Amino acid sequence: MTADRVYVATAAGLAILGRDATGAPASATSVARPCPAGETSILDVAVSGQSVWVVSGQRYWSGSTDAFCASADGGTTFAPRWFVAPDRGNAIASTVYAEGARVYVGYAPGFFLSTDAGATFRSAELPAGGVRDVAAAGGSLYAGLDAGVAVSTDGFRTFVLRTEADGLANPGVVDLAAVGTRVYAVTSFGLSISSDGGAHFAPPATLTNASMAACVAAPDASTVYLGQKSWLQVSTDGGAHFAQRLPPVGSTSYLSDTVGVDARGATVAVAARDTVFVSTDGGASFAERGAAAGLVAPSGYTLSLRGVAVAPSGAIHVASNVGLFSSTDGGATFTAAGGGPAWLEAVSAGGPALYLGGDLLHVSTDGGATFVSRGAPDGLPGRPGPAVYVP
């Protein structure tokens, strides 16, 4: 709708209603087939100034006749606009939305974006493969994917995909941390660091067995905790240099399959296969907490930890294949959540609530005593794991 016209998508074509000075309908025009080779039925219409875009009822098969077309003269004439989905041989246009010079064209299961009033389009969907981790800092959102790091400054309405061409050690990103303009991406081939908000990445200058990186946490601008398969490395200069913290230098008691690390205040927690290492002095020293501290699977199960989170209260929450374990005494003891979700892949405790990812998204506002589960009926299709993030 504009000040002098109303555009209506109908089964019989595009209806254009003229408006008088009061906004009331004053005239009517019908365009039976705006897209010359499309159907008469119009699924959707969007308007910005004199630009009008319509999606017809015909399926849009890449490279075939038009079912999405545009007008630059208020709907007097139309011409087709073609775009091709990069990851499949066909696309079905279903909806269109315009906002100034930005035009969004929806198709299953993503959308195309134009930033030049529909002159050109690019695919704006996240690559297939799923999101492994999410982080946010400085007004930017970052998503770790099988294809790289997606960087967005507008809440993922749009994003830029960063790959090996931008310095990532490998496009397969398994964990992320961000603080200020610094972004830490754990890839299949090691840690990559960005100091410019994810525009460019580079490997750390000094890091033992860089390819063994598994998880990362960055509680402030200078401190970085890097969990490797058998070690914990710590940097106090933003990732420029790392020093081994676990196991202590000279010890051969290596960690076993490190899966998560988190830090808040003076509390640092590192989750390995079936045990947690906890520090209450900012990572200067650690104590191992395992079965004796309460991290025990029910009879008939083998414990497998999946992630760890330190809440603002100092509580430590551990996600596992048998549910949630929580500690409120600095990691000295852990208690299994009674009646909570029985299988988890991810945990996040950055905000006032506790979020767990598994077969559903589980939310607790009382430290894990009770949960509310969210799934498809609540608008959350598929499994929310392995990444749940709360800043």
Position 350 confidence tier, pLDDT thresholds 50, 70, 90: confident
pLDDT band of residue 297 (cuts 50, 70, 90) is very high
**Quick one: average pLDDT of 361-366?**
88
The whole-number pLDDT of residue 65 equals 47
CATH code of 127-253, in short, is 2.130.10.10
Report the SS3 class of residue 204.
coil
Write out pLDDT tens, residues 103-131: 777 665 556 777 777 667 776 667 666 67
- Cα Rg of the chain (Å, integer): 26
Question: Which of 186, 178, 166, 172 shows the shortest CA–CA distance to 142?
Answer: 178
Mean per-residue pLDDT for 344-362?
84
Q: Could you read off the pLDDT of 46-83 as tens digits, one per residue?
A: 888 888 888 876 544 434 445 678 888 888 888 877 65
Distance CA(232)–CA(214), nearest Å, equals 10
As a whole number, mean pLDDT of residues 26-52 equals: 81
Confidence band of 96 (pLDDT split at 50, 70, 90) = confident
127-253 against 259-391: fold identical: yes
Q: Which of 266, 188, 184 minimizes the C-alpha distance to 226?
A: 184
Mean pLDDT score across all residues of the chain: 83
List the chain domain ranges: 5-123, 127-253, 259-391
Asked if 144 and 176 count as a contact pair (C-beta separation under 8 A), the reply is yes
CATH superfamily, domain 259-391, is: YVTN repeat-like/Quinoprotein amine dehydrogenase (2.130.10.10)
The structure's pTM equals 0.74
Distance between CA 10 and CA 210 in Å, rounded?
Answer: 59
What confidence tier does 24 reach under pLDDT thresholds 50, 70, 90? confident
Distance from first CA to last CA of the chain, Å, rounded? 39
In this structure, the chain runs to a length of 391
